[in-house]
Structure 1
Amino acid sequence: MTCYAIGHLREIEMGPDIVAYLEGIDATLAPFDGRFIIHGGEKHQLEGAFQGDLIAIAFPDRVRAEAWYASPAYRTILPLRLNKAVGEVFLIEGVEADHKATDVLS
Structure 2
Amino acid sequence: MTTYAIAHLRNVTLGPEIIAYLEAIDATLAPFGGKFVLHGAGNRRMLEGTFPSDIIMLSFPNRTAAEDWYASPAYQAILPLRTRNSDGDVLLIDGVDDDHKATDILRNG
Normalised by the length of structure 1, the TM-score is 0.99
Query: Any stretches of 5+ residues in structure 2 without a counterpart?
Result: none
1:42 shift after superposition: 2.1
Equivalent residue for 2:70?
69
1:104 aligns to 2:105 (yes or no): yes
Structure 1 runs (4+) deviating above 6 angstroms are: none
Alignment-derived partner of residue 26 in structure 1: 26
Q: Which residue of 1 is the match for residue 38 of structure 2?
A: 38
**Equivalent residues in 2 for 1:80-99 (5 A)?**
80-99=81-100
Which of 91-100 and 43-52 deviates more? 43-52
For 1:9 and 1:45, the matched residues in 2 are separated by: 17
Q: What code does the residue aligned with 1:7 have?
A: A
Deviates more, 1:13-22 or 1:38-47: 38-47
Provide the rounded CA distance (Å) in 1 between the counterparts of 2:73 and 2:46: 37
Residue identity in the other structure for 2:89: E
Match of 1:14 in 2: 14
- Give the distance between the partners of 1:79 and 1:69, measured in 2 at CA: 12
Residue by residue over 1:40-88, the C-alpha shift from the partner in whole angstroms, topping out at 9 and shown as x without a partner, is 1121000111121000000000000000000000000000000000010
| TM-score, length of structure 2 as denominator length | 0.96
Which residue is equivalent to 1:2?
2
**SS across alignment from 1:101:** coil
Q: Percent identity among equivalent residues?
A: 60
Gaps of 5+ in 1: none
